[in-house]
């Protein structure tokens, strides 16, 4: 596993973004792990997060695109932090764009904030976590309504590696349904590989009992 992925897993734990216990996802699934990117709360954390996203984007998509689009609301700081990191790390000036939940009818009018999108723009979409793949159904029509725009990919922080609407993973379904390349900074398999029975800062975060709970979760909700 690449060094930056190992660092990102530990970064999520330090920021209390990745937690283990008893949770319920938005789709109603009881899960022993939860990823809440709302816990990235400081400038230093967002700067570092943007660097991890920038690395994943560069690895999986390259930098031959024009706009990074982040759906409101969590996608807004992600686009800003990541475009800044791409500029600093790779010298590429990518425009950022997000949507508003409500159309603004005065001043900077419309549904978008940040850069407008137009014909021939190549767009990478950035999200926090995709569990069931429902958000992309709302995001793509907004992007495509801006003209002859070309969505080329979706990047998330963590691939939960569980079924989406049917029997395949959410990211697999997005690839097949929309023709989008998908990528994640890390997968849950990589999280388990890095943490299982391995001490971190003096304690073992993922012991045999937690590993068994995660295995049981994937037995129920994992990809068939």
- pLDDT tens, position by position, 186-215: 999 999 999 999 999 999 999 999 999 999
Kindly state the helix (H) or strand (E) to which residue 43 belongs, with its residue range: helix 43-60
Q: Which of 54-58, 119-123, 134-138 bottoms out in mean pLDDT, i.e. has the lowest?
A: 134-138
Residue 16: beta bridge partners? Answer: none
Q: Which of 106, 168, 181, 194 is catalytic?
A: 106
User: DSSP readout, 120-177?
Assistant: T-EEEEE-SEESSS-HHHHHHHHHHTTSS-EEEEEEEEEE--BB-SSSSBHHHHHHHH
Residue 80: Cβ within 10 Å count = 17
Helix axes 43-60 and 3-14, enclosed angle (nearest 10): 150
- On the question of pLDDT at 224 being above 80, the answer is no
Answer whether the bond into residue 112 is a cis peptide, omega within 30°.
no
CA distance 153 to 175: 9
Query: With bands split at pLDDT 50, 70 and 90, how would you rate the model's confidence at 130?
Result: confident
Q: Which of 151-155, 167-171, 199-203, 212-216 bottoms out in mean pLDDT, i.e. has the lowest?
A: 167-171
Average pLDDT over residues 170-179: 89
CA distance 169 to 136: 14
For the chain, what is the mean pLDDT? Answer: 92
Query: With bands split at pLDDT 50, 70 and 90, how would you rate the model's confidence at 18?
Result: very high
DSSP character at residue 39:
G
Catalytic status, residue 106: yes
Catalytic status, residue 104: yes
pLDDT at 168: 84
Query: With bands split at pLDDT 50, 70 and 90, how would you rate the model's confidence at 164?
Result: confident
The structure tokens 């990589």 sit at: 190
Q: Which of 26, 30, 104, 166 is catalytic?
A: 104
CA distance 160 to 185: 11
């Amino acid at each position: 596993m690449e060094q930056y992925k190992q660092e990102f897993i530990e970064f999520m734990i330090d920021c209390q973004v990745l937690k283990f216990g008893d949770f319920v996802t938005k789709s109603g699934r009881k899960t022993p792990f939860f990823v809440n990117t709302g816990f990235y709360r400081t400038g230093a954390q967002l700067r570092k997060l943007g660097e991890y996203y920038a690395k994943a984007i560069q690895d999986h998509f390259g930098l031959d695109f024009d706009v990074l689009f982040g759906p409101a609301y969590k996608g807004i700081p992600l686009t800003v932090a990541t475009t800044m990191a791409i500029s600093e790390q790779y010298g590429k000036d990518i425009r950022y764009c997000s949507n508003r939940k409500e159309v603004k009818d005065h001043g900077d009018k419309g549904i978008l904030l940040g850069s407008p999108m137009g014909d021939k723009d190549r767009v990478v979409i950035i999200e926090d976590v995709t569990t069931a793949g429902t958000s992309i159904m709302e995001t793509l029509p907004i992007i495509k309504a801006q003209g002859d725009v070309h969505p080329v990919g979706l990047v998330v922080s963590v691939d939960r590696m569980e079924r989406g609407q049917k029997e395949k993973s959410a990211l697999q379904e997005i690839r097949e349904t929309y023709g989008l390349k998908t990528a994640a900074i890390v997968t849950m398999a990589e999280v388990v590989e890095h943490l299982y029975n391995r001490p971190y800062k003096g304690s073992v975060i993922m012991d045999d009992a937690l590993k068994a709970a995660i295995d049981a979760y994937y037995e129920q909700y994992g990809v068939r």
